[in-house]
Chains A and B, each alone.
Chain A
Amino acid sequence: MIYLDNAATTRVSAEVYEAMKPYFCEQYANPSAIYSFAGSAAKAVDEARRQSAALIGAQPNEIYFTAGGSESDNWAVRAATEASAGKGKHIITSKIEHHAILHTCQYLEKHGYEVTYINVDENGTIKLDELEAAIRPDTTLITIMAANNEIGTIQPLKEIGALAKKNGILFHTDAVQAYGHIPLDVDALNIDLLSASGHKFHGPKGIGFLYIRKGVRMGSLIHGGAQERARRAGTHNTPGIVGLGAAAALAAAQMEKSIDKETTLRDYLIKRVLEEIPYSRINGHLVNRLPNNANFCFRFIEGESLLILLDQKGICASSGSACTSGSLDPSHVLLAIGLPHETAHGSLRLTLSDETTKEEIDVTVEALKNIVARLRSMSPLYEDFVKAQRQDREK
């Protein structure tokens, strides 16, 4: 099997798994308990909090563990806007956010909030001038993702953070795809709130955190016990938290090396595909891009067919076609960068990890060449295109 869907989820690394193991059957105490048996679990949670914070230059007491990226996004957007509803009810976001943000914004729109969705350019970079122009006296939150999950474009966080700070607006970033993959510093980037998820960087599933800058006023999403400084209730998921911390520590130690390795392989993959498969294009920014992300469109073919045939060659990938999005529309991200529907239907996302090899990329490109040619041979769009070309030549 060749696994090229690391933006969907990653393998839990062996070190992370080892770190988690004692907290299932041995050190199973509730970290909030008072007896000494709980001491080891409580200490492990503290250590994970320190490790998670260190990766973004935050203080440990600014990290609030959650059940994952979606919860962190929901919490940040809802609670931060609710807390400042007295000042205003206007939110700024972008058209290419993850649905955890977009659907939360749509929910708030039904409850009296106004949302401005900023456009992106053809590379998927948000339009800063549009963002600046959208700021109003009643704007209370700017939420823009750190890097896009489909096309990998990294957003100009520093500029966005500066604009937010200048105007006294909270800045939240959904860093689910970026945390553990690229350097992020909450102070340098003026980030007030940041969402992260464990399983996107070789940690376990079902665990994430929300970074909340000290001094930011906001309520809870999950009400109950006094865990997480009484801001996020629920018994600590000790093994998950330990795994998240261990993955953060590993990411910190290996980031520079991983970025180099993945970027080299990614660029090799992009070069081969664009050179060897006609009528293909790369989506997203070529430079300001996640090291592990390649997103292509192949004209005249549809993404789900492509995925099924890749699967038969043992290659795991993903697509933004309608058939994989669960609706009749292709990916909102590909439409936002200006692709026509029929092109957007033929998209393919390949996301690498530091375990991916050059051999795997070579096998994938060869498979892809055959599959794209085969699907085109049965595509009426390709038939029309070839006929039109022939007629042009004859003229």
Chain B
Amino acid sequence: MYSEKVMDHFNNPRNVGEMEQPSGVGTVGNAKCGDIMRMYLDIDENGVIREAKFKTFGCGAAVATSSMATELVKGKTVQEALEVTNKAVMEALDGLPPAKVHCSLLAEEAIHAALWDYAEKNHLTIEGLKKPVEDIEEKIEEDAEQ
């Protein structure tokens, strides 16, 4: 059901953990639908993401997409991190089963939530960053309407 890459990131998740003093932290998803992701970012004075950590409650795909998302944003600038979309995460994992696509949306949303927190703390405006939604189902419905 899952690709080898998904299984690899589920079995050996990269960057699991917490940060004491993150530059930004965001939690998305809800326990009702069974997925919660929390992402921590450590961002230097030039706006480059030095470290990313995550914790996830969810299925195999939820863990793998969180792990891949942290890998993809590390070393990128804040602006570049915005380009790590759910599609980018899915491609990097060699795809997800259709029922699990919402996990990759959650990963994208987790990055945005952490960046939003960073921007708020530092009174910055990040071009192209929208306030993240807590409930990913709303986002899926919004996307469907568009």
Q: How far is the CB of B9 from chain A (nearest CB, A)?
A: 12
Whether A341 touches B34, Cβ cut-off 8 Å, given contacts A326-B99, A378-B16, A383-B18, is yes
Whether A302 touches B59, Cβ cut-off 8 Å, given contacts A308-B10, A383-B18, is yes
User: In the assembly, what is the distance between CA of A308 and CA of B31, in Å?
Assistant: 20
Which B residues are CB-close (under 8 A) to A345? Answer: 31, 34
Which A residues are CB-close (under 8 A) to B32? Answer: 328, 341-342
B55 close to A379 (CB less than 8 A)? yes
User: In the assembly, what is the distance between CA of A323 and CA of B60, in Å?
Assistant: 9
Which residues of B are interface residues toward A (Cβ below 8 A)? Answer: 10-11, 13, 16, 18, 27, 31-38, 54-60, 62-63, 99, 137
Which of B27, B34, B99 is in CB contact (< 8 Å) with A380? B27
A226 at the interface (CB under 8 A from B): no
User: In the assembly, what is the distance between CA of A363 and CA of B125, in Å?
Assistant: 54
Q: How far is the CB of A18 from chain B (nearest CB, A)?
A: 35
Interface residues on A, range: 20 to 34
A321 close to B57 (CB less than 8 A)? no
A305 close to B34 (CB less than 8 A)? no
A-B contact pairs, 17 of them (CB 8 A): A302-B34, A302-B62, A305-B58, A305-B60, A321-B59, A322-B34, A323-B34, A323-B58, A323-B60, A326-B99, A328-B33, A329-B33, A341-B32, A378-B13, A378-B16, A380-B56, A380-B57
Which B residues are CB-close (under 8 A) to A330? Answer: 34
Which residues of A are interface residues toward B (Cβ below 8 A)? Answer: 300-302, 304-305, 308, 312, 321-323, 326, 328-330, 340-342, 345, 377-383
8 tightest Cβ-Cβ pairs between the two chains A and B = A342-B31, A304-B59, A323-B59, A380-B38, A380-B55, A322-B34, A341-B32, A345-B34
B57 close to A300 (CB less than 8 A)? yes
B16 close to A377 (CB less than 8 A)? yes
User: In the assembly, what is the distance between CA of A329 and CA of B32, in Å?
Assistant: 7
* Most chain B C-beta atoms within 10 Å of own C-beta, residue among A323, A329, A342: A323
A381 close to B59 (CB less than 8 A)? no
Which A residues are CB-close (under 8 A) to B10? Answer: 305, 308
User: In the assembly, what is the distance between CA of A301 and CA of B63, in Å?
Assistant: 12
Which of A305, A326, A378 is in CB contact (< 8 Å) with B55? A378
A378 close to B56 (CB less than 8 A)? yes
User: In the assembly, what is the distance between CA of A300 and CA of B38, in Å?
Assistant: 14
Which B residues are CB-close (under 8 A) to A321? Answer: 34, 59
* Most chain B C-beta atoms within 10 Å of own C-beta, residue among A329, A330, A378, A379: A378
Whose C-beta in chain A lies nearest to the C-beta of B27? A380
User: In the assembly, what is the distance between CA of A382 and CA of B62, in Å?
Assistant: 16
User: In the assembly, what is the distance between CA of A300 and CA of B13, in Å?
Assistant: 18
* Most chain B C-beta atoms within 10 Å of own C-beta, residue among A322, A329, A345, A380: A380
Whose C-beta in chain A lies nearest to the C-beta of B1? A308
Which B residues are CB-close (under 8 A) to A378? Answer: 13, 16, 54-56, 63
Which B residues are CB-close (under 8 A) to A329? Answer: 33
Whether A305 touches B63, Cβ cut-off 8 Å, given contacts A312-B11, A326-B99, A380-B38, is yes
Which A residues are CB-close (under 8 A) to B16? Answer: 377-378
Which B residues are CB-close (under 8 A) to A379? Answer: 55-57
Which B residues are CB-close (under 8 A) to A308? Answer: 10, 60
Which A residues are CB-close (under 8 A) to B54? Answer: 378
